[in-house]
Structure formats: C-alpha cells, structure tokens
Chains A and B, each alone.
Chain A
Amino acid sequence: MARHLLKHIGMMAGAGMLGVAFATSGTPALAEEDEFGGSPRAPGVEITYYACSACHSFKLVAQQGLSKESWREVLVWMVEEQEMEPMEPSDFLVTLNYLTKFYGPDRLANKLAAKR
C-alpha cells in the first residue's frame, strides 16, 4: 500500500480503480458499466480485470488487439518478468480466453462499446 500514500499532489501516479462520477452527474455512485474499467460483462471479466489492474490501468489492456498466442506470451511475460502473481491453470485459461475474445485482433470490446 505504500505507493498509494502519495505525498506530492502533483506527482500522483494515476487513477485509482474506482470510477468516480464528478460534477456532470451530481450522483457520486459508481457507474455500473465502469466497474471493470468498461470491459464487457462476461465470464472471466472479474479475474482478468483484477489481475491486470493490480499494476497498471485497464486502459492499457483495452487498447490491445492481440491473438491468443500473443496474449499467452504477454501473460507468461507478466508472470516471469513483471511480478504478476502466478495464476491457477484454470484461472489462466479463463483470463486468456477473455482477453482473446474481447481484446483480440477484431477488438470486439470496442465494437460492443460503440453499440451501447
């Protein structure tokens, strides 16, 4: 938690995980669709979101459009070199499938978001 105790206001590392509605809505409640960084509600969303956003914003994930093979490589690299917690094999597969389905080369998540 130490890195969240940011003393220097101008140097905040980035947004927290809560989507906060400001002046526009007047309602401070969590926006439903932003609970998982706007990623599609489908099996695997929760585990994927928390695995990725432990270290970086889900915005980084949401920009990608990678093949299953590339996603597998990314996840292995995250564990081997970037300090991601190793996953149970079943969780790994759920995450891999979620990423490939929605953040594959055809960027399905973007298409779904555009329809909303």
Chain B
Amino acid sequence: MTDDIIETPPEDILQRFEDDPEKADLEIFGRTPNKDRRGFLRGAGLTAMGAMLGATIPFHRNMPAGFVPEALAGQSTALAGKDGLTLLNDRPVNAETPPHLLNDDVTPTKRHFIRNNGIPPESTAADGWNLTIDGLVNTPMTLSIADLKSKFEVVTERLVIECGGNGRAAFDPPARGNQWTLGAVACSEWTGVRLSDVLKAAGVKDNVIYTAHVGADSHLSGKEGKLPISRGVPIAKAMNPHNLIAFGMNGADLHPMNGAPLRLVVPGWPGSCSQKWLKRVYLRDIVHDGPKMTGKAYRVPAYPVEAGFKVPKEDFEIIEAMPVKSLITTPKTGIKVSGRSLQVGGHAWAGDNTVDRVDISIDFGATWQQANLSKAPNLYAWQRFEHAVKFPMAGYYEVWARATDDEGRSQPFAIAWNPKGYLNNSMHRVSAFVS
C-alpha cells in the first residue's frame, strides 16, 4: 500500500485533488476526515501522508479535508501548465525558457516565462474581478472584466514582454537577483482592451505625469497590505495604443502565473511595467514611487561605468524602452552538423522601435551576412529572421546574431555592465560542430 502511494506521480495527485478533493483524500492517502471536516478520522491516512512528507504532522488534527500539504503540492505545481522551462526559484516561482523552445512566432502559453515578485493571489477567477481606475481622473471607475469587454474595443496583438533582468547571469562581477540567462522573453498573442481607451474614458487630468499599477499579489513576508511591486510608466507611454489590459492569452484565459485573470501588457519596456493580476491603475502628478520604482530597482546608471563601479544612488535612472536584441531559436546550441550548411532562425525585437536588419556571423564577428527579416504583424511583436549559413570546412563554429534597430543601434558584443544587471542585449551565439 505505502509503496503504491509513493509511486503516485505528483501531477496526478494534484489533478485528482482538483477534480474531487475528498475522494482524492480517501484514495491517495486513505484519509477520512472527522465530522468537522478536519483531521483524520481514527487516524486513517495520517501515516500515509506522513510517509510521503518524510515527517510526522504534529498539528494533524487541524488539517482541513481535501488539503494537499504544501511540501507536496508546491514541488509539482510550480510549473503546472508549463513545458520545458528552467526553474530559477520556486518560492516565488521564477522560470525561464531555453532559447530553442522559443522558436514559435507566437510563444505558446506553456513556453512563456514566469517572473514573480510576490505571492500570487489565491483566487484568479474572472467572476467578481474588478479593476479600479482612479487617482487624477475626471471620473473614477470600477470595471468588471465583462464591463471591459462590452464598453471598449477588444483587440488582439502579438506583444513582446521581456524581463528587465534578462541576461543578468552573464554579469561579472555578478549582479544580485534572479540569474536569468536568455529566456525571460516571450511574444504571445494577447487579447484585451487598450489601456489608452480606458484612461480616456476616465478622463486624464492635465497635471498627470505618471501611472501607478497595483496587482493582487502579496508581499513575500506575508505582511498584510504590503505590496511586492507597484510600477508605472510616464503618461505618454501609457497612452500608446499597443498597451493592453489583457484578459486573453493565445486565444484562452491567462495562465495563473502569467497574471490571470487580468494583467497589463506594456510591450517594449521592462516586464515589470506589465503588472500581473491587475486590480488598480491610478494616475499621479509625480513619478510613481511604489515598490521597485525607487532605489536601484529597474534603474541603470545615467552614464557608462566600468564593471564593479559603485554608482551613487542619485545617479540611477529609471529604465524605459528595452534595447534592440535578437535570439537564435534554431538550432539549439551545440548542434552537430554533418554536411556544410545549416538553417539558422530566430526572433529580433527593439523596445519601442522596429528592427531594420539582422546579420549573422560564423567567424567570431569578422564578417557578417544579412539574414532575411520578416516584418512584424503589428508593432511590438518580434520579427522572424532566417538565414542559411555555409561552413567552409569541418570544425567548431559559433553562429552569432546581431540585430540593428531603425535608428541604427546594434547589439554590442560586450555587456554594458550596471550594478543591478539589467538590459543585457549582447549578441546571442550558438555553437555548431561541423563534421
């Protein structure tokens, strides 16, 4: 009996608890609760649950019926509904996607990275979810998701969201925070209403300079009322028609870890501007000073610095648009090539700009070949590049990609080091072993 229990895969446990918690209690742990729906009637199931936890449960009498211990649940649900992501942190969940799994033009929900600052809300049900628009507006509003859908034009766009700290892992000296490598970026298809339409309906007062965004996640310390993160953008950026208050992701509901049931998508700027589990947007006549707006969070020095430089606090500036960047999504790095040719492809994007060209090098940047570059289906979507490279002989090669935006700015080879490890848009390279 005990062996069977231990062999039950965790995903299956959770699915069964989701379907019918009390039935799962009985079938998986052999547990029947007491009349008050707590504890273990005559101890039934307690030993089995303890065996799975590897510990006794001193307060078992209080444990509600149909309840999965967090030590079991958390381990397997961290990445539920995701596929192939690399888990950087499991509390809160932070996970990125290996580049070769980002090959789709529209990033599937299961491949969209997860970046959490706090504890996600327990309920992400769309029913009863309200969004408040207030602060310096003529008409404060509280809107349900149904209101948003009925009162405003619903639009669908492919929009790039990239974490401001994507690429931090390559910083030397290291910068603190989650050590994202390459995959804290995605371009999913988002459905929602324009933030600008909603703000216009509320009436933006003349003295507004900044937005402030509030989500339903809570602070990691568990302190009541303390926000884990609340960022905003200048009002001019907020009125860009490509910012969405999104309730749809790839034709379905949002994934809980991507902000269900409602989030902002403010493409081209650090992902932290795209508040998840959106509850409130208020307008201010000062630069928003919520958590992770101040200090060194999402800020870089106002001038170039050498690696390791101690930058005075007052010399940091808020990051706005993300820089031009590209990612080789095919082949996967380390590919073994038999023959002399290889098809290389990937995506390029450029903050508030568009990408003009992508060049490929197979000789460590000595010479470059221009790749075919697709136009974006809409502004703020990433653009596909494709190129067939020919290798002159067998051996070790690196394929480098370098995107250039419509203002002539290209990706650098070296990282523009900054203390908190943001904005690493150095060129992506993959290795190829040609035989």
Contact = CB atoms under 8 A, between A and B. Distances in A.
Interface of A: 2-18, 20-23, 26, 28-30, 53-57, 59-60, 63-67, 70, 74, 82-84, 105
Nearest to B50: A28
B77 A64 contact: no
B90 A57 contact: yes
Contact of A105 (B67, B174, B218): B174
A12 B8 CA distance: 19
B351 to A, nearest CB: 26
B27 to A, nearest CB: 16
A66 B7 contact: no
Nearest to A30: B54
A109 B91 CA distance: 20
Interface stretch (B115-123, B267-275, B319-327, B381-389): B115-123
Contacts of B220: 55-56, 82
A12 B173 contact: no
Nearest to A60: B89
Contacts of B9: 22-23
A94 to B, nearest CB: 20
Interface residues of B, number: 55
Nearest to A105: B173
Interface in B17-55: 17-18, 51-55
15 contacts: A6-B70, A6-B122, A9-B17, A9-B73, A11-B122, A11-B124, A14-B91, A15-B70, A30-B55, A57-B90, A57-B92, A59-B89, A82-B220, A83-B226, A105-B173
Given A8-B123, A55-B220, A74-B176, A14 B226 contact: no
A26 B3 contact: yes
Nearest to B173: A105
A15 B121 contact: no
Contacts of B226: 83
A56 B74 contact: no
B335 interface: no
Interface in B58-94: 64, 67-75, 77-78, 80-81, 87-94
A23 B91 contact: no
Contacts, number: 143
Q: Which 4 A-B pairs have the closest CB atoms?
A: A14-B91, A83-B221, A16-B71, A15-B74
Interface in B142-179: 173-174, 176, 178-179
A70 B221 CA distance: 21
Contact of A55 (B53, B72, B221): B221
Given A8-B122, A8-B124, A16-B75, 6 more contacts: A2-B222, A3-B119, A11-B122, A11-B256, A13-B91, A22-B75
B134 to A, nearest CB: 26
A5 B223 CA distance: 15
**Residue from B17, B81, B92 having most chain A Cβ neighbours under 10 A:** B92
Contacts of B54: 18, 20-21, 28-30
A105 B174 CA distance: 7
B119 A9 contact: no
B14 interface: yes
B174 A22 contact: no
A98 B409 CA distance: 43
A54 to B, nearest CB: 8
B174 A20 contact: no
B89 A83 contact: no
Contact of A6 (B73, B75, B90): B73
A105 B78 CA distance: 29
B135 interface: no
A30 to B, nearest CB: 5
A23 B179 CA distance: 30
Given A9-B77, A63-B88, A20 B176 contact: no
B109 to A, nearest CB: 13
A6 B18 CA distance: 12
Given A15-B74, A15-B75, A66-B174, A20 B89 contact: no
A106 to B, nearest CB: 10
A57 B90 CA distance: 6
A2 B222 CA distance: 9
Contacts of A67: 173
B174 A60 contact: no
B66 to A, nearest CB: 9
Contacts of B69: 16
Contacts of B176: 64, 66, 70, 74
Contacts of B94: 60
B6 A22 contact: yes
B77 A18 contact: no
A56 B87 CA distance: 14
